[in-house]
A and B are shown apart, each in its own frame.
Chain A
Amino acid sequence: GAVVSQHPSRVICKSGTSVKIECRSLDFQATTMFWYRQFPKKSLMLMATSNEGSKATYEQGVEKDKFLINHASLTLSTLTVTSAHPEDSSFYICSARGGLGYEQYFGPGTRLTVT
């Protein structure tokens, strides 16, 4: 149980284009979803927290107009990187928690390369 999928696993895009990453909870309803960014050999950095049907709460320093988050249903959240630039290249990971529990379950991550 508690499986989270993420798609795509790897994407290469040209500078100036937009990329959408999907995060799905497969066997539970995700009350809250989280988006993280991880730089090489570093820990996870929380970008934003989203509750189903509500606007995402972004961490300080994260541009909400650049990283658009939609949590339209209890099983799906999307992160769109708009007008991507090479410095947006990174490993993006989503997680989800369900019900009243604290535990977060993680997707396998998406490696974004902007050329």
Chain B
Amino acid sequence: GIQVEQSPPDLILQEGANSTLRCNFSDSVNNLQWFHQNPWGQLINLFYIPSGTKQNGRLSATTVATERYSLLYISSSQTTDSGVYFCAPGRPDSNYQLIWGAGTKLIIKP
């Protein structure tokens, strides 16, 4: 099956810093989502991005499907950005199931 690797596993930054989170996947995928899981466990949709680049405020994402990776950029970090960021590509030929990476745990210090 498809393998998903996220890096770095942990990241500690000061408020105001920028960061780049990476997601590599081992085979072609037909869709990909980025999520933020807040400290209370709620998963929040950030981007649906099977290819190309999208921006939403301080966050942006780029997926290069032909090279099997996706990047999530966070600029001017705030303490509320803390949590775990998951990349989840879709399983090909499946019932819309997602494959989950191990996540990147981000801590933003004030």
Contacts and interface: CB of A to CB of B under 8 A. Distances in A.
A67 interface: no
A46 B90 CA distance: 13
Contact of A46 (B45, B97, B101, B103): B97
Given A43-B86, A108-B42, A109-B41, A32 B95 contact: yes
A51 B102 CA distance: 27
Nearest to A42: B102
Which of the four size classes fits the interface of chain B? 20 to 34
Interface residues of A, number: 24
Given A102-B30, A103-B33, A34 B41 contact: no
Contacts, number: 53
Main secondary structure of the interface of B (DSSP, over half): loop
Interface string A28-54: 000010100010001111100101000
Contact of A104 (B30, B33, B101): B33
Given A91-B41, A109-B42, A43 B100 contact: yes
A31 to B, nearest CB: 8
Interface string A57-98: 100000000000000000000000000000000010101010
A97 B42 CA distance: 16
Interface of A: 2, 32, 34, 38, 42-46, 49, 51, 57, 91, 93, 95, 97, 102-106, 108-109, 111
7 contacts: A43-B100, A43-B102, A46-B100, A103-B48, A106-B35, A108-B42, A109-B42
